[in-house]
Amino acid sequence: MLATSIPNNCVWYVSPLKRAIQTAEALSKFVTNSKIVIENKLIEQNFGDWSGKKISEVWKVLKKCKTKHNFSFISPEYSPPNGESFKEQTKRVGVWLENLNVLEDKSIVIISHAGTIRSILSHALKIKHDYAIGIEILHQSLNILEMINKNDDRHKGGRFRLLALNIKV
């Protein structure tokens, strides 16, 4: 069970979308947290005017796009009308991640969405958007990312290290 892999007594950052909040509520029956923070920056990519539309309607627009992607229905730089691109989502999530103040040896839990997790990985590991958008993130999987303090980032390798991806517990 996923809950057995989540550390106790840490801060949980949760997307404001209903399914993420419901997941946090379900997990909190098995794991204690120090607090839950509903974080707007962790929301899934904004598909703007496409939200709620049939995919067949969206495909009519996408067929006209000059840039296509092998593993995503839109390229990372393409913004749906009144929405945001994957690149814009990654910038939003990256700013949040860089400003996150995590104390040394403390864990946090992020409950969010596949696109947001891809954005975190793209930013943290400096993976090009074209490649990051193709990373498969399994539903209700555990992904572990280690982050060191800004002050400790003095050598090669950056501040982040991927420890686990798509663990199904």
pLDDT beyond 80 at 77: yes
Instruction: Report d(CA 117, CA 113) in Å as an integer.
Output: 6
CATH class of 2-167: alpha beta
Instruction: Report d(CA 159, CA 115) in Å as an integer.
Output: 21
Phi and psi for 106 in degrees, rounded to 5?
-110, 140
Using the CB atoms, write b or e for 26-43: b if 16+ within 10 Å: ebeeebebeebeebebbb
Give the residue-averaged pLDDT of 35-40: 96
Residue 153's pLDDT is what? 85
Residue 139: both structure tokens together = 């539903």
Angle of CA points 17, 23, 28, to nearest 5°: 125
Angle of CA points 69, 73, 76, to nearest 5°: 60
pLDDT beyond 90 at 163: yes
- Residue bearing the bigger pLDDT, 162 or 169: 162
Residue 152's pLDDT is what? 85
pLDDT beyond 90 at 93: yes
Helical spans, DSSP H, in the chain: 18-27, 55-62, 86-99, 114-124, 129-132
> DSSP assignment, residue 165?
E
- Residue bearing the bigger pLDDT, 126 or 64: 126
Residue 64's pLDDT is what? 86
Domain segments of the chain: what residues? 2-167
* Nearest C-alpha neighbor of 53 from the set 24, 82, 33: 82
pLDDT beyond 80 at 102: no
Residue 94's pLDDT is what? 97
Give the residue-averaged pLDDT of 136-148: 94
Give the residue-averaged pLDDT of 102-107: 77
DSSP code string of 47-59: -GGGTTS-HHHHH
Instruction: Report d(CA 87, CA 102) in Å as an integer.
Output: 25
pTM: 0.92
Listed range (18-27, 108-117, 151-160) with the worst mean pLDDT: 151-160
Residue 68's pLDDT is what? 87
